[in-house]
Amino acid sequence: MSMTLDNLDYAPEYEAHPDWHAVSTVCLGELLMDGVIDLSAPDMAFDAYSPEQAARLIEKIKGRFYWREVSIIPIKRWKWEYVRLLNEIMPKYKPLYKRIEEGLDPFAEGSEYGKHRDIFSEFPQTQLAGNSDYASTGTDREYEIIREGSTAEKAVQFARSYRDVDALILDEMETLFSPLVTVGAINAF
């Protein structure tokens, strides 16, 4: 069984409605629990890289912001801003998702790819293409050089500087939620 936030106890089941301890608006978790919003609903869809990325990001949004108050009311306006913000920022993150999907080697310092063709022309000649290019012999050469740094050094550098792309998006979404976290919200567990 894969671990998702739905499996975790961050949103415990209550027989009665929980006291969310919201100070000025309403907590995201309360909106989700009461069915006021569904982050997976078509009206909340955004310009995601893939359906898998969207589902993963939605789970991380729930995990980070569940106990936080939304910063905009009425809720319909918050929903509008949620979709608008994600649609604005996703284009700059899509190339990162693509690069990770293609395979990211954190230990590579660089790579070089080259292709070279040596063509010699002596008589009799052979036509290369339909554009009247002729050659009697030719050689194609391809090469790839991958440079790697010190594995230990690269591992430390990667661990210090790498940020999950989803986390970068979550950081940009902070404006949709109140920065105020009350003691009551922390003790809600």
Helices (H), 11-74: 28-33, 51-65
Question: Looking at residue 162, what is its pLDDT?
Answer: 76
Give the angle subtended at the CA of 155 by the CAs of 153 and 157, to the nearest 5°.
Answer: 70
| pLDDT band, very low/low/confident/very high, at 15 (cuts 50, 70, 90) | very low
Q: Which two tokens stand for residue 15?
A: 């027989």
pLDDT in tens, 49-104: 999 999 999 999 999 999 899 999 999 999 999 999 999 999 999 999 998 888 87
Q: Does the bond joining 179 to the residue before it have cis omega, within 30 degrees of 0?
A: no
Question: Looking at residue 161, what is its pLDDT?
Answer: 75
How are the residues of the chain apportioned to helix, strand and coil, as percentages rounded to the nearest 5?
Answer: 40, 15, 40
- Who wins on pLDDT, 163 or 74? 74
Q: Which two tokens stand for residue 54?
A: 């969207």
Question: Looking at residue 184, what is its pLDDT?
Answer: 52
Question: Looking at residue 183, what is its pLDDT?
Answer: 57
Mean per-residue pLDDT, 37-47: 96
Q: Is 163 helix (H, G, I), strand (E, B) or coil?
A: coil
Question: Looking at residue 4, what is its pLDDT?
Answer: 53
* Whole-angstrom distance, CA of residue 22 vs CA of residue 184: 9
| pLDDT band, very low/low/confident/very high, at 1 (cuts 50, 70, 90) | very low
pTM for the full predicted model: 0.65
Q: What is the mean pLDDT of the chain?
A: 79
Question: Looking at residue 43, what is its pLDDT?
Answer: 96
Mean per-residue pLDDT, 140-157: 71
| pLDDT band, very low/low/confident/very high, at 148 (cuts 50, 70, 90) | low
